[in-house]
Amino acid sequence: MTEFIPAGSRFLDLPSPFPMKRGGALLGARMAYEIWGTPNAAGDNAILILTGLSPDAHAASHADNMDPGWWEAMLGPGKSIDTDRWYVICVNSLGSCKGSTGPASIDPATGRTYRLGFPDLSVEDCADAAAHVIVSLGIERLACVIGNSMGGMVALSLLQRFPGIAHGHINISGAARALPFSIAIRSLQREAIRLDPQWNNGDYTDEAYPEAGMRMARKLGVITYRSALEWDGRFGRVRLDSDRRLGDDPFGLEFEVENYLEGHARRFVRRFDPNSYLYLSRSMDWFDLGESCHGTCEQGLSKLRVNRALSIGVHTDILFPIQQQQEIADGLLAGGVDAHCLALPSPQGHDAFLVDFARFGPAVHEFLDSL
């Protein structure tokens, strides 16, 4: 199996065995992470960034890897997350295929790729593994934990499982529990992969790879990551030039929006491990901060011990709708946290935090500045 590890990655060996919430344990597992900036003398300037499902830990360029990262516009000297001031750590999620141990890694017990032998992965496991990175770096308390999308779930779980681990929290387009519309979307993405005969119950190879399933999963993802409003303005009913259409296939690409999806699928399909995708996707469906504390979601939120929190969402997000960011702020507030929800008018839907830096940049900067 191919893993996709950015140059300049750092690694932490997790305790072995590393117990998993739903049973089983990992042996010799590791976490990939990257860092920017320098810890200060008081030890109170550390920020942890937790990512969405697919990104690696390379959030921005640094001396060991000058390639632009997925949050390049947000993170760096003088930027919204100012690395002249903050000591920033981004981790690749446990279960991913981009440096941290996941289904595409070798199981030391067998010497073979885990594949479906990887134990059930939960958001809580991702939080536990991220906490080990923080502790290993000698950080006693984070100034802030920032979680985007799935990372927003991991961040809430981290706060639940490690009370007091952070002073501040920014939850971006995240959720305290998975709701049925997003469960349905993710279930269908997983079904697309599993129905591909080349998935072969997880035993695919680079030569016989579930490309059709991954294409479908990615395209469905992109549809739910953006918004109808953005696409009306961006694509409308514009057709592809005839020389960019694919041969004489009667059902081939015709509209620009179809070409856009096709481009996204092509860039993704061979760059993410299908089994890893299945595990990470399912972990989100399972997540409910309330279930984790045998109560309601609001009760789970009200018990989190963090001093200040900002949850940010956008009105056009259909996958993690704004009501879910409002729920986070309301729940934290009910527990006495100085929390509020910022609803941005970005047209780009769930992915707005990856593109609408004009809105997200100042919002994040202002909150960090006030800590």
Give the residue numbers annotated as catalytic, written as ranges.
149, 317, 350
Of 163 and 181, which has the nearer Cβ to a copy of itself?
Answer: 181
Rounded-to-integer distance, Cα 72 and Cα 296, Å: 37
Residues touching a copy of itself, count (CB under 8 A): 48
Q: By CB under 8 A, tell whether 331 contacts a copy of itself.
A: no
State the nearest-atom distance from the C-beta of 50 to a copy of itself, in Å.
Answer: 22
Q: By CB under 8 A, tell whether 296 contacts a copy of itself.
A: no
Of 256 and 356, which has the nearer Cβ to a copy of itself?
Answer: 256
Tokens representing residue 34 in the block: 């990257």
Rounded-to-integer distance, Cα 13 and Cα 11, Å: 7
Task: Among 261, 329, 341, 354, indicate the residue that binds a copy of itself (CB under 8 A).
Answer: 261
State the nearest-atom distance from the C-beta of 23 to a copy of itself, in Å.
Answer: 12
Q: Which of 10, 11, 8 is nearest to 63 (CA)?
A: 8
Rounded-to-integer distance, Cα 248 and Cα 92, Å: 42
Tokens representing residue 53 in the block: 């499902």
State whether the Cα torsion 322-141-282-13 is positive or negative: positive
Phi/psi at 368 (5° precision): -65, -40
Rounded-to-integer distance, Cα 57 and Cα 34, Å: 6
- 19, containing H or E segment: strand 18-19
Task: Among 79, 98, 169, 282, indicate the residue that binds a copy of itself (CB under 8 A).
Answer: 282
Of 278 and 304, which has the nearer Cβ to a copy of itself?
Answer: 278
* Binding to a copy of itself, residues 59-88 (CB under 8 A): none
The verdict on whether omega for the bond into residue 17 sits within 30 degrees of 0, i.e. cis, is: yes
Task: Among 138, 242, 250, 294, indicate the residue that binds a copy of itself (CB under 8 A).
Answer: 250
Q: By CB under 8 A, tell whether 51 contacts a copy of itself.
A: no
Q: Which of 349, 205, 347, 189 is nearest to 279 (CA)?
A: 189
* Binding to a copy of itself, residues 171-230 (CB under 8 A): 177-185, 187-188, 190-192, 194-195, 197, 212, 215-216, 219-220, 223, 227-228
Rounded-to-integer distance, Cα 175 and Cα 319, Å: 10
Task: Among 64, 84, 203, 291, indicate the residue that binds a copy of itself (CB under 8 A).
Answer: 291
Task: DSSP for 296-317, please give it.
Answer: -HHHHHHT---SEEEEEEETT-
Of 72 and 211, which has the nearer Cβ to a copy of itself?
Answer: 211
Torsion of CA 147, 75, 58, 212, to 10 degrees: 70
State the nearest-atom distance from the C-beta of 184 to a copy of itself, in Å.
Answer: 5
Question: What x/- string results for residues 220 through 249 when contact with a copy of itself is judged by CB under 8 A?
Answer: x--x---xx--xx-xxxx------------
Length, in residues, of the chain: 371
Q: For the CA atoms of the chain, what is the radius of gyration?
A: 20
Interacting stretch for a copy of itself, rule CB under 8 A, among 90-98, 124-132, 163-171, 257-265?
Answer: 257-265
- At 304, is the secondary structure helix, strand, or coil? coil
State the nearest-atom distance from the C-beta of 287 to a copy of itself, in Å.
Answer: 10
State the nearest-atom distance from the C-beta of 144 to a copy of itself, in Å.
Answer: 29
Q: How far is CA 85 from CA 77, 257, 334, 349, 363, in A?
A: 8, 41, 31, 30, 17
Q: By CB under 8 A, tell whether 98 contacts a copy of itself.
A: no
Phi/psi at 6 (5° precision): -65, 150
* Binding to a copy of itself, residues 106-165 (CB under 8 A): 116, 120
Residues that bind a copy of itself (CB under 8 A): 116, 120, 177-185, 187-188, 190-192, 194-195, 197, 212, 215-216, 219-220, 223, 227-228, 231-232, 234-237, 250-251, 254-258, 261, 278, 282, 285, 288, 291, 318, 321
